[in-house]
Amino acid sequence: MSFTLSGTVIVSGTKAHPHAFRRLKEALPGIDWQEGGALDRPAVILKTGDRPEGSFRITASAPVVTVEGGPFSGVIFGVEELIAKAENPSRLTVTETDQTPGLTYRTFWTWDHSTNWELSQIGQQEIGVFNPYGKPPSGFLRDYKRCVDFCSRNKIAAIVIYGFLRDPHGGVEAARELCRYATERGVRILPGIAIGSYGGVYWEGASRYNLATWLRQNPQHAATLEKGVGFQIADLAFPLNFPKSDYTLSACPSAPETMAWMEEGVAWLTETFDIGGINIEAGDYGVCGCARCVARRDNEREAARRREVHGDYWSHTDMADNFPRLYRTAKAIKPDLWIYSEIQWDNLLDPVAHEAQRRLPKGGIYQHTTNRSYWGRIQQGLTRGYVESLPTQPNVLRCQFACQWNGDERSERYALNARVFGEMARVCDRTGMNGLTIWGEPSPYHATVELSYLAFARFSWNPSLSFEDFVEQDAASRLGGLEAAQRFIAIAEELDAAQTLPTDRLETLRQAAAEHRAGGEIGRRWLSLEDQITRRLYMGA
């Protein structure tokens, strides 16, 4: 059944769902939205039901529309579905629908220093892991509130933030405000931490839970790294730099005092902030090689594998020994948290520590990262039977390419990555992986980035969607029609495929983009593509 709402409409459930009510008023100002409980006139009922998280059902029985959603985000996502179908700001035609996300865990991964969603401020960075924060103190909230808004409106469930707590961008109060803002909008904030590295729970600042602060008071618990700090990625065309600083300190994971301190920090993090989860890893820039750590691991195969393939960047045994303690600590305080455990790079099909991983708790979310070359192996070799046999359950895939961490000197940060995100969602769905994580740092001001994010959102929600339908349903309206969208994609993909192009070819592509130069958002998107081409022309390739 469907019917149209207009004029005065009563909304019930606004106290429990204030942001859903706010969005109706913002997006459809021509309708007179009123709070109330009367259902004998045009009305919208907002309510949480016994449904999977994020799912929603819209039912219509004239003159009443009911939006019933799963916990945390379902009502908000249902209201966004209503808004997307509106003909104009004064009329809302309601069509019944029942939707559940194809992939449960749909997540952006970010570092605070290189997340650039608010472009009207200085201090932008584009790569790195041990970076200072160079923006004004207000920049953290200005960037991440924009990111939260995009996720809320496009059914992206969560944002991982490394550098969540840092004195230079507001410390505890800024982090609290971001969590409040995101939770109200149905987006989970997942602080990123590492066991005895990456700053502990508090990335930078004068806090008991900052690693550098704690090690200055407890220097006997510092790690003895087997090699120098840092890592390199074969799929990245240039070497990475890791200057020594407080950011690169590590604590020994075999010291009982280290893990007691980490447990205390995780409890404080969970109690102090309205977080939606935590992303935990063992650290990926070095392994403690002290006598206690070597004896505790007692895993010659893992050690050999790390030396030969992974460069001693991490230890799965360290994860298995310590992740369960932090998992239990957080879950005991807030049972509905999403607790991700990073299983690290390019080893989903080449496990080296299944025995260790069997000690990991069911219910943790196990994140397997892939670089571009390894992705080809996953496409060909990953099966549902294999995923179901893994000792870690449930499992998600994390895309380490289609961002600044893979590619040539340009990297893939601003490339049009829509096709690969669609394919990754389909592979996850086909093989029984429960989610997909991608990098979400650059602003969707860049149209190639916007389309990539939209593809991630649409395909992770509905993995059976075809790329052609995505272009018709999402790209066409944003780029001036279906033919224009197809032309935009062809130009962007030609640019991405070649690090250099003859200047006459670049000029031809620039002129093709310039033909669509106009006012409004459509023109802005084409202008962002034209700017990419013009930069290359200016540089001569």
pLDDT tens track for 110-123 = 999 999 999 999 99
- Mean pLDDT along residues 280-290: 82
Which percentage of the chain shows pLDDT scores above 70?
A: 96
Checking phi first, is residue 129 left (phi over 0); if not, alpha (psi -120 to 50) or beta?
alpha
421-457 pLDDT, tens digit per residue, is 999 999 999 999 999 999 999 999 999 999 999 999 9
Instruction: Specify the residue for token string 């002129």.
Output: 511
Of 347 and 332, which is predicted with more confidence?
Answer: 332
Question: Is pLDDT above 60 for 309?
Answer: no
Model confidence at 311, pLDDT cuts 50, 70, 90, reads very low
Residues 146 and 440: beta-carbon distance below 8 Å: no
Say which CATH superfamily domain 105-465 falls into. Answer: Glycosidases (3.20.20.80)
The reported pLDDT for the residue numbered 305 is: 60
The domain limits of the chain are 2-99, 105-465, 475-539
Q: Which backbone phi and psi does 237 adopt, to 5 degrees? A: -75, -10
For residues 292-309, average pLDDT: 67
Task: List C-alpha distances in Å: 541 to 446, 501, 505.
Answer: 20, 5, 10
Residues 206-217, mean pLDDT to the nearest whole number: 96
Nearest to 197 by CA among 313, 84, 291: 313
**Under a CB-based contact definition with an 8 Å cutoff, are residues 454 and 127 in contact?**
no
Mean pLDDT calculated for residue range 493-507: 96
pLDDT at position 310 is 47
Q: Could you report the per-residue pLDDT of 1-44, keeping only the tens digit for each?
A: 678 889 999 999 999 999 999 999 999 999 999 998 777 789 99
pTM of the model: 0.96
The first and second tokens of residue 534, run together, are: 């013009």
Identical fold between 2-99 and 105-465: no
CATH code for the part of the protein at 2-99: 3.30.379.10
Rounded-to-integer distance, Cα 239 and Cα 227, Å: 17
Nearest-Å Rg of the Cα atoms of the chain is: 24
Count Cβ atoms below 10 Å from residue 30 Cβ, excluding itself: 12
pLDDT tens digits, one per residue of 239-254: 887 778 888 899 999 9
